[in-house]
A and B are shown apart, each in its own frame.
Chain A
């Protein structure tokens, strides 16, 4: 084999298309001929270079294929027309109505269309600041739609507050606009969320020289959905195709969401249920419908620039975050591990040793994106704290669907940096992240290991008259391994069962908790502690009332416990008596720690005297429970 023959076969060798004997002889030649071997190396490098080019290929953004009716509608039109908004919408509308055919890898970067020149808009960066749920929405929580509906059915159904928190985020979207001509230009921004607050949009030109002037700003959100297209088509001609293959052409007289009334040419009107139809074909696309929510600007440019930098900032619903904590209890420690603390108790009883649990806490920020837009490589900031908001009715129009999605596991380490900001705390993700539409993302926010939690029992008759709550108390301090501001969120407790398997125990909610504050985590009711109370004596003299309540607590555990009994005092209380030591926790709220030996019962009475001078407006919180007992004698009803 000579070099000329070898040279002609090199490409086939590169493609792997040589038969084994030819390949053998060519390789033998290459082994002995430096020139040909060098040429082969160059070919391989060139192939590699082309592969690299393909690897750097950006995703397809706008490529669409027309569906059947587009041929009739736009067949004669010049090809370029496709890029006009109306025709682009036509394509999409037809696709909606007939069969969506999108040849799209990712709808990440939109193409905006200028009036004449091909104005291009590219997103260069985006930063998101997601606000936390304001307290007004707390009662609803992040209910799914199904939960909301259930609650609505269970309740009176009149409340309008059952909608889930729609989320709120500040989006700062940096974009580059190319080919803006001198003079006035119309620029369309697609790829904005449907929940955008149009009055919050601010467009800022980042160029120093010859900045653009904004003449007008519009937000167009009448989307070209199948129903919207039909509704706009009333009075115009269309052709419908039934599922059995028949078709009817005529004028659309009305459309109510389920039924089309069509008057075929020269015949009487016909009611046609939408479900009977396979396809609806329109003769033309009604004006004024957009394929996606779009911001439209009229800009005045003093000079032509190849490209201009912009920042668009706006508030949008559909993005929310919440804090979720996982508290993992260490395997059971023996009570008293922290050392016995002797306090003189009632009736000469020694205070039982405190129960100290050890646990690890991990806080996750759960970010949910229902905005309808994917934010690629976004700078993510999460704001914790109750921000005052004016929720206007029209801004709640866009409902937030149930969230679903994936929960990334441990691959994401703590990457949130916490900073104080105004009166709040801002958690910033140190790397860009992509928040796809309809995605739930979890990011680790805070963590602490080996936290000491004091376990206690609280008996509050107004919450549950027969059982005591298990409450863990934890200091949010650095000494305790934490010392980080904790945003409001749900805490889930996991504890190892006797086999050592982590088992879900309970969940509770915490409020925004600053550093050095005490976290109180109520978990549920203690199984082995039975409680009851009764009013043993009530004396009423005019506005003056003397109430004697008796509390009984039985400890069926095999170790002594301390139960803190909560006594609610009515307003106007001027005297309280109890044999046990007690202290005031808040106004009108008394705590009585009661020590109960294993398997024993403890009873005590609490006497309080109060004036009901306000005329019955303020009563004992026990009022409801003793309503069967007539309260007479001079008490104004």
Chain B
């Protein structure tokens, strides 16, 4: 993991008291890169994920009075972002499905990793494989691996028991690894 690894910010989870706007803003700013990664995991497009993060951050900022500090700020913001995403999906269901477009590589939900592999880009293949996971697995995996949340926080965001989250994560990672079997060599740490 990068700097946003779970341990790095576990220490700083004491939430800002309501009314401490500068600190609130600073924490939002700190959470933004991880938030964007999580949303990339959901939508498969970096630019879209940036837009979605912007919406989520704005929304969190406006609702900051209602943040009670029981959950961590990150958990709260991630939950807001997820709700935005789900709302968007529901609205989209009534419209023709939008093709996610990635800025450096095009990945659709139906894009097979092999096709991506033919284009010779491993990161593309990973993104494509991620997109072929079932939604609930992808969501958990994105929160954990891209968003850098701990399993406990993932359980909080998804409002699920910890055991369920852990098994989802495990199945998601195993499925991802199977999808990326052709790249096993390159992915050996």
Q: Does A477 contact B (CB under 8 A)?
A: no
Which one of A42, A50, A58, A105 lies within 8 Å of B174 (CB-CB)?
A42
Write out, one digit per residue, whether chain B residues 89-116 have a CB within 8 A of any chain A CB (1) or not (0).
0000000000001011000000000000
Instruction: Find chain B residues with CB under 8 A from A7 CB.
Output: 170
Q: Does A8 contact B (CB under 8 A)?
A: yes
Instruction: Find chain B residues with CB under 8 A from A55 CB.
Output: 2, 123
Tell me the bound Cα distance from A118 to B101 in angstroms: 12
Q: Does A540 contact B (CB under 8 A)?
A: no
Which one of B54, B151, B187 lies within 8 Å of A63 (CB-CB)?
B54
Q: Does B42 contact A (CB under 8 A)?
A: no
Instruction: Find chain A residues with CB under 8 A from B55 CB.
Output: 79-80
Tell me the bound Cα distance from A472 to B169 in angstroms: 75
Q: B57 touching A65 by the CB < 8 A rule?
A: yes
With A42-B174, A53-B130 as given contacts, are A82 and B166 in contact (CB-CB < 8 Å)? Answer: no
Q: Does B145 contact A (CB under 8 A)?
A: yes
Which one of B53, B146, B172, B189 lies within 8 Å of A54 (CB-CB)?
B146
Q: Does A497 contact B (CB under 8 A)?
A: no
Which one of B127, B167, B173, B177 lies within 8 Å of A53 (CB-CB)?
B127
Instruction: Find chain B residues with CB under 8 A from A45 CB.
Output: 177, 180, 184, 187-189
Q: Does A66 contact B (CB under 8 A)?
A: yes
Tell me the bound Cα distance from A55 to B1 in angstroms: 9
Q: Does A146 contact B (CB under 8 A)?
A: no
Q: Does B178 contact A (CB under 8 A)?
A: yes
Which one of B58, B173, B183, B184 lies within 8 Å of A79 (CB-CB)?
B58
Q: Does A120 contact B (CB under 8 A)?
A: yes
With A58-B46, A58-B104, A178-B101 as given contacts, are A103 and B126 in contact (CB-CB < 8 Å)? Answer: no
Question: In chain A, what residue has the closest Cβ to B6?
Answer: A15
Question: In chain A, what residue has the closest Cβ to B163?
Answer: A8
Q: Does B36 contact A (CB under 8 A)?
A: yes
Interface size for A (C-beta < 8 A) is 47
Q: B189 touching A57 by the CB < 8 A rule?
A: no
Tell me the bound Cα distance from A50 to B37 in angstroms: 10
Instruction: Find chain B residues with CB under 8 A from A62 CB.
Output: 50, 54
Q: Does A47 contact B (CB under 8 A)?
A: yes
Which one of B29, B47, B59 lies within 8 Å of A103 (CB-CB)?
B29
Q: Does B33 contact A (CB under 8 A)?
A: yes
Tell me the bound Cα distance from A54 to B130 in angstroms: 13
Q: Does B21 contact A (CB under 8 A)?
A: yes
Instruction: Find chain A residues with CB under 8 A from B174 CB.
Output: 39, 42-43, 46
Q: B29 touching A49 by the CB < 8 A rule?
A: no
With A60-B36, A63-B32 as given contacts, are A46 and B173 in contact (CB-CB < 8 Å)? Answer: yes
Q: Does A529 contact B (CB under 8 A)?
A: no
Q: A50 touching B187 by the CB < 8 A rule?
A: no
Q: B25 touching A63 by the CB < 8 A rule?
A: no
Q: B62 touching A82 by the CB < 8 A rule?
A: no
Main secondary structure of the interface of A (DSSP, over half): helix
Q: Does B129 contact A (CB under 8 A)?
A: yes
Q: Which of B36, B59, B145 has the most CB of A within 10 A?
A: B145
Which one of B36, B47, B61 lies within 8 Å of A120 (CB-CB)?
B47
Write out, one digit per residue, whether chain B residues 14-37 have a CB within 8 A of any chain A CB (1) or not (0).
000000010001001100110011
Q: B32 touching A103 by the CB < 8 A rule?
A: yes
Q: A60 touching B33 by the CB < 8 A rule?
A: yes
Shortest Cβ gap from A119 to chain B (Å): 12
Instruction: Find chain B residues with CB under 8 A from A61 CB.
Output: 50
Q: A65 touching B123 by the CB < 8 A rule?
A: no
Tell me the bound Cα distance from A306 to B61 in angstroms: 34
Instruction: Find chain A residues with CB under 8 A from B136 CB.
Output: none
Q: B126 touching A42 by the CB < 8 A rule?
A: no
Shortest Cβ gap from A405 to chain B (Å): 27
Question: In chain B, what residue has the closest Cβ to A42?
Answer: B177
Instruction: Find chain B residues with CB under 8 A from A111 CB.
Output: 47
With A43-B173, A47-B145, A83-B51 as given contacts, are A63 and B57 in contact (CB-CB < 8 Å)? Answer: yes
Shortest Cβ gap from B121 to chain A (Å): 9
Instruction: Find chain A residues with CB under 8 A from B6 CB.
Output: 15
Tell me the bound Cα distance from A103 to B36 in angstroms: 12
Q: Does A51 contact B (CB under 8 A)?
A: yes
Shortest Cβ gap from B80 to chain A (Å): 11
Q: Does B79 contact A (CB under 8 A)?
A: no
Tell me the bound Cα distance from A10 to B50 in angstroms: 33
Q: Does B81 contact A (CB under 8 A)?
A: no
Question: In chain B, what residue has the closest Cβ to A79?
Answer: B55
Instruction: Find chain B residues with CB under 8 A from A75 CB.
Output: 62
Q: Does B157 contact A (CB under 8 A)?
A: no
Instruction: Find chain A residues with CB under 8 A from B151 CB.
Output: 11
Tell me the bound Cα distance from A38 to B1 in angstroms: 22
Q: B180 touching A49 by the CB < 8 A rule?
A: yes
- A interface residues with partner B (beta carbon < 8 Å): 7-8, 10-11, 15, 39, 42-58, 60-68, 71, 75, 79-80, 82-83, 101, 103, 105, 111, 118, 120, 122, 178, 306
Closest 6 CB pairs of A and B: A42-B177, A46-B173, A50-B145, A56-B123, A45-B187, A46-B176
20 A-B pairs in the complex with CB atoms less than 8 angstroms apart: A11-B151, A11-B170, A11-B173, A43-B174, A44-B189, A45-B189, A46-B172, A46-B173, A46-B177, A50-B141, A50-B176, A52-B123, A53-B130, A53-B146, A55-B123, A57-B37, A58-B103, A58-B104, A65-B28, A111-B47
